[in-house]
Amino acid sequence: MSATDFIAILPLLIVAGASLCVMAAIAIRRSHFVCFLLTLVGLGASFASLWIAQAETPRLVTPLLIIDRFAIFYIGLITAASFAVALLSYGYLDKCEEAQREELYVLLLLATLGSDVLVASTHFASFFLGLEILSVSLYGLTAYLPARRISVEAGIKYLVLAASSAAFLLFGMALIYADAGTMSLAQLAGRPATPGNLSAPMWLAGAVLIVTGIGFKLGVVPFHLWTPDVYEGAPAPITAFIATVSKGSMFALLVRFFEATGWRQTHELYVVFAIMAIASMIAGNLLALLQSNVKRILAYSSIAHLGYLLVPFLAGGELAVPAITFYLVAYFVTTVGAFGVVAVLSDGVREADRLEDYRGLFWRRPVLGAIFTMNILSLAGIPMTAGFLGKFYIVAAGASESIWALIIILVVSSVIGVFYYLRIVVALFSDVPQATETVQPPSFSLPLIGYSTLGLLMILLIWFGVYPQPLLRLIIFPQ
C-alpha cells in the first residue's frame, strides 16, 4: 500500500484508532466522561478527514476497498449518525447505575468501523469482514444492560439469528466463487450463468443465499422476525443505531453490489426482491397497527420503510441511487430523533416505550413533544418534512421506469401507516388522565446535550423537507 492509499482510508483508520484509545483509557482509569469525549473526538476527526480522503477519489485500495464519492458520502452519513448516538448515549447511561458504561463506546466505534468497511467494499472478503465487525459489536450493544432480562433475551436472539444468516451468506459466496472463480464484484459483472449453462443452478443458489443474508440484516420480510424483539430489548440509543447505521450501511452495500455486478437485471432475483418489497410494505404496516409499544411500532415501521427503499432499487435508472440516498438521509435524521426522544425520557429502570408514557407529553414537555411530533410526521411522509420529499423521490424513481404495481402498493401501504403514526400523535396531544397524573416522566440527564442533539435533528428534518438542494448536490456522485 502507498501513502495515497492510507490517505484514502484515513476516516476508517481514525475510527479504528479511536476505539484503541478508548480501550487504553479504560485500562488506565475508568471514566465515563473521558471515554465519551474520546469517542466524540475520534468520530469528529474521522468526519473532518473525509475532505482529505475525497481528494484521492476514486481510489481502489487493494482489491478489497474502493474509496469513491459514494463511499465518502455514506461514511460521512454513518459517522454523523454514530456521533448523534454517542451524544444520546451519555445521558442515557448516566441513568443506568448497574451498567459498566465505558465499554459501550468501544463497541459503538467498532460497529461504526464495520459499517464504514461495508459501504466501501468491492470484494466478498471485505464484505464479510465488515459485516462481522458490525454484527459482533451489535451482539454486545444489544445485550449491554444485563440487569434487564429483555435486553439479554434480545441479544441472544440477535446472536443466534445473525450467526445463521452469516452462514447462509458465506455459503452463497462459496457457491459464487466456485462458479465464477473470483470474489471481486467488478469481475463478477456480466457473469450470471445463462440458462443453457450447466453452472446456472449453482450461481442462482449462491445468489439466493447471499440475498438471504442481506435480507436478514435489512430486516425485510420474511427475514424480519428478529426486528421488533431486538428493537424493544436494546437500549434506546442502540436501537437508533441498529435502525439507521446498521441497516443503512447494508443497503448501501446492496446498491453497490448489484450495480457493480449487474445482477439486479436478472429476472429470478428481480422477482425475489419484488416479493420482498411487497411483503415488507404490507406486513410492516399491518403488523404495526396491532402494537401498543412505541419501539415495536417503530420496528415494524422500519420494515415497511426498507420495503419502500426496494422500489427505486428495483426500478434502476438515473434516479435510483439519488432517491435511495436522499431517503436514507431523511430516515437517519428522523429515526435517530425519534429514538432519541425515547432515550431522553427513559430512566435507569425501564424504557419509556409504552404508548401511555407519551400521553399528554406535549402539555408536560412542549419542546420534546413538538420534536417527537415532527419525527412521527416525517415517518408518515407529511409535507414540509424530509420524509415527504424522500417518498416523493422514491415514487419519481419508480415512475421513471414505469413499475406502477409497486408504486400503487407503496402509496396504499403508506396510507395504512398514517393510522398508527397518528395514534402516537393523538397520544402526545391528549389530556393526561387524572389517575395517572402523578406518574411523571423521569427528569432529564444533561438536558443541554439532549435538547441540542434533538433540536439539531429537527432543524435538519425541516430543512431537508423545505430546501433540499444542498443535500441533492452532494447526493449526485460525480467523480
- Give per-residue pLDDT as tens, 138-149: 999 999 988 888
C-alpha cell at 279: 411483503
Which grid coordinates are listed for 295? 419501539
Please check whether residue 417 lies inside any domain of the structure: yes
Cα–Cα dist 346/178, whole Å? 51
Please report which confidence band the pLDDT of residue 312 belongs to, taking 50, 70 and 90 as the band edges. Answer: very high
- 71 has pLDDT over 50: yes
DSSP state of 121: B
Q: Are 429 and 346 in contact (CB under 8 A)?
A: no
Residue 69 within any structural domain of the chain:
no
288-297, 384-393, 434-443, 445-454: range with lowest mean pLDDT? 434-443
Task: Give me the phi and psi of 115, to 5 degrees please.
Answer: -65, -40
Instruction: Specify whether the CB–CB gap between 234 and 152 falls below 8 A.
Output: no
The three-state secondary structure class of 60 is strand
- pLDDT exceeds cutoff 60 at 399: yes
Q: What is the count of structural domains for the chain?
A: 1
222 upstream amide cis, omega within 30 of 0: yes
449 CB neighbour count, 10 Å cutoff: 16
Cα 415 from Cα 387, distance rounded (Å): 14
Name the one residue in this structure whose C-alpha cell is 411500532: 297
Q: Is residue 363 part of a domain?
A: yes
pLDDT-wise least confident of 38-42, 113-117, 217-221: 217-221
Rounded percentage of the chain residues whose pLDDT exceeds 70: 93
Three-state DSSP class for residue 223: coil
Residues in CB range of 235: below 8 A, 6 or more apart: 89, 92, 96, 141, 144, 145, 151, 343, 351
Write down the pLDDT at residue 433: 59
Report the predicted TM-score, pTM, of the whole model to 2 decimal places.
Answer: 0.93
Q: What is the pLDDT of residue 439?
A: 40
In a domain, 143, yes or no: no
Look at residue 300 and tell me whether its pLDDT is greater than 70.
yes
Q: Is residue 419 part of a domain?
A: yes
Between CA 474 and CA 167 the distance in angstroms is 37
State residue 191's pLDDT score.
Answer: 64
pLDDT in the model for residue 441 = 47
Closest residue by Cα to residue 294 from 368, 210, 359, 238: 359
* Cα within 13 Å of Cα(39), Cβ side: 33
Alpha helices in 316-365 (DSSP H): 320-345, 361-364
The percent of the chain in helix, strand and coil, each rounded to the nearest 5, is: 75, 0, 20
pLDDT in tens, 316-355: 888 889 999 999 999 999 999 999 999 888 876 788 888 8
The rounded Cα 172 to chain-centroid distance in angstroms is: 24
At 440, the pLDDT band (50, 70, 90 cuts) reads: very low
Distance CA(30)–CA(35), nearest Å, equals 8
Cα gap 259→189, rounded to integer Å: 9
Which helix (H) or strand (E) element contains residue 194?
Answer: none
Mean pLDDT of 292-312: 94
In a domain, 123, yes or no: no
In a domain, 380, yes or no: yes
Position 196 pLDDT exceeds 60: no
Residue 201 has pLDDT above 70, yes or no: yes
190 dihedral zone (left: phi>0; alpha: psi -120 to 50; beta)? left
Q: What is the pLDDT of residues 217-236, one digit of tens each?
A: 999 999 888 999 999 999 99
SS3 441: coil
In 10 A of CB 140, how many CB atoms? 18
Assess whether pLDDT exceeds 50 at residue 190: yes
3-class DSSP assignment, residue 228: helix
Range of the domain at 464: 266-479
Mean model confidence pLDDT for the chain: 88
Written as nine digits, the cell of 139 is 451482539
ω before 201 within 30° of 0 (cis)? no
Which DSSP state fits 59? E
* Mean pLDDT value across residues 308-320: 90
The cell for 116 is: 464504514
Q: 439: exposed, middle or buried (C-beta count within 10 Å: 0-12, 13-18, 19+)? A: exposed
| Residue that is written with C-alpha cell 420496528 in the block | 299
Q: What is the pLDDT of residues 255-268, one digit of tens each?
A: 998 888 877 777 88
Which one has a higher pLDDT value, 411 or 3?
Answer: 411
166 found inside a domain: no
Task: Report the candidate in 416, 171, 184, 196 with the shortest Cα–Cα distance to residue 289.
Answer: 416
Per-residue pLDDT tens digits for 82-102: 999 999 998 888 887 666 888
237 in Cβ contact with 99 (< 8 Å): no
Asked if 86 and 450 count as a contact pair (C-beta separation under 8 A), the reply is no
Pick from 19-23, 350-354, 371-375: least confident: 350-354
Q: Which pLDDT does position 434 carry in this prediction?
A: 60
What is the predicted pLDDT for the residue at 276? Answer: 95
pLDDT of 207 strictly over 50: yes
Residues 31-47 have a mean pLDDT of 94
Angle between helices 69-94 and 10-28 (to 10 degrees): 20
Q: What digits encode the pLDDT tens for the residues 148-175?
A: 888 899 999 999 888 888 999 999 999 9
Of the two residues 479 and 396, the one the predictor is more confident about is: 396
Please report the pLDDT score of residue 145 as a whole number: 86
Q: What is the mean pLDDT of residues 125-146?
A: 92
Least confident window among 114-128, 160-174, 283-297, 338-352? 338-352
Of the pLDDT bands very low, low, confident and very high (cuts 50, 70, 90), residue 205 is: confident
The grid cell for 467 is: 430546501
CA within 13 Å, CB half, 255:
28
